[in-house]
Amino acid sequence: MNQTQTHPKVVVVGAGWAGLGATYHLAQQGYNVTLLEAGGYPGGLVAGWKTAQGRSVEAGIHGFWYPYRNIFALIKHLGLNPFTDWTCSCQYSPAGLEVESPIFQQKSRLPTPLGTFLYTRFKRLPLSDRLSALPLLYAVIDFDNSDAAWRRYDPVTARELFKQFGVSARLYKESFEPMLLVGLFAPGEQCSAAAALGMLYYFILAHQPDFDVVWCRGTVGEMIFRSWVEQIEQAGGRVLTQRRVTDVMIKTHAGEDAKPQINGVACGEEVFEADAVIFAVGVTGMQKIVSSSATLRQFPEFCNLMNLRAIDVLATRLWFDRKVPIPLPSNACFGFDATTGWTFFDLNALHDEWKDAPGSVIEADFYHANQLLPMDDKDIIAKVHRDLTTCVPQFRHAKVIDSSVVRLPKAVTHFSPGSYPFMLPGRTSLANGFMSGDWIVTRHGSWSQEKAYVTGLEAANRVIEQLGVGMPADIIGVEPDESHIEFARHANRTIRDWTSRWLPTPWLP
């Protein structure tokens, strides 16, 4: 970059949490930022839109959990008030109600994981099965989100992990696998044990309130992203939709150790000059870019992305002719399909738009929905109605008067066993090319939307470090481990280090 240039050009690819986060901060720091979004709306998977009848829909409902410290700080900074109060949740099986989760902040604080264990109300699962999870606490302690821990646990399936540590078959089927189906979006035999431990610790086990959740009082696109994009544009950033990246241009410098640099991003015939580029798309989006880019295909790290997978999602919304009383607004379900988890939400309780609607408005989202996507819309809606009736029998007498079906093939990251070595870190072999998203390797410790936003800020900070303009973003760390967990992890690392020096390791890593 010309050192006299005061407004370096940065291109950000993808307008989800990561891309918007990076763009917003860089625009505030005086960068000439262009955000390119392949779709028609900013927001990626959480962008909402209207049906032909003018009703709001979105690609699935997204919760905002207690540990989302950076997102909550952003919302406060933007001056928005998009969220519900903290909500309780239920879990259903074909046998009926299985679990009720309270608002854990309202309970007396206990050392983790006692609060989660004692305050969660299991309706059928015997205490003896719940106690079978105790040996698994060693794996929770041993997995500290370090690179070494990921490499130890990533080749193992979550199901193998739970079996090795003596988790009962019933506890696995009625508790752990349902959490995997709606947390990592796949059954345990298809989930990395490392990802399972990381997700469970972040959302449930690290601190008693971590499972508490709020929801947007409308679509995330309307309640958050629209205002966010407006503030990005007011700060001087450009947000361009319908721009699908097809290639990048690079230049090389003399010198054995010099890395190539990106100097342009192509969307077909349209080219955007760049002093730095941030990729902020999901796995599937990045694979499409690599497939079309003769430049990126020269680099093994980008070709290796083809080893990663993504998971099909089905999002449905049903409008009924009458109000059906639903015990709690957010609900997770298991056991209806062997490899699919699903959730349903009472939008009359969560969304302002439907608060006074004469009939129930229900969002039902299915994960690992491979077998559902080929079905006709009418058959999908009939299935959703049947499954809802199994959970809440009063739906039997309600009639569906309108519906929406959104198919999302390969939409969310699949943290499959053995996937970790192919996930990219924030820095790449392109000197000014940076990565962000919920599938990028980071030591921050967050997951899902919070991780995407955090990695977007991390990428923005790398741009600032390299180009030397502006102040880095403040990134709030995850809440520190509780003292007994910190002590146990320190002791475990000490013992592991000592034994590795003096004793051979006969097991596979």
DSSP state of 425: B
What residue type is 43 in one-letter code? G
User: What sections of 110-245 are H helices per DSSP?
Assistant: 114-119, 127-131, 137-142, 147-153, 158-164, 169-171, 177-183, 193-200, 220, 226-234
Q: Where in the chain is the domain with CATH 3.90.660.50?
A: 90-211+309-418
* pLDDT for 158: 98
Question: Residue 33's closest CA among 397, 463, 400?
Answer: 463
Tokens of 318: 């049903």
Q: If residue 489 lies in a helix (H) or strand (E), which one and from where to where?
A: helix 483-502
* pLDDT for 255: 64
- Residue 82 CA to residue 123 CA, distance in Å, equals 33
* pLDDT for 258: 79
Question: Residue 485's closest CA among 458, 445, 449, 448?
Answer: 445
* pLDDT for 4: 40
Q: Which ranges of the chain have pLDDT less than 50?
A: 1-4, 506-509
Fold of 90-211+309-418: Polyamine Oxidase; Chain A, domain 2 (3.90.660)
Q: Where in the chain is the domain with CATH 3.50.50.60?
A: 9-48+219-307+423-467
Tokens of 115: 């609060």
* pLDDT for 226: 94
Task: Choose which CATH entry (3.30.70.270, 3.50.50.60, 3.30.830.10, 3.40.50.920) describes domain 9-48+219-307+423-467.
Answer: 3.50.50.60
* Contact between residue 23 and residue 461 where contact means Cβ atoms under 8 Å apart: no
What pTM, to 2 d.p., does this model score?
Answer: 0.95
* pLDDT for 1: 43
Q: If residue 497 lies in a helix (H) or strand (E), which one and from where to where?
A: helix 483-502
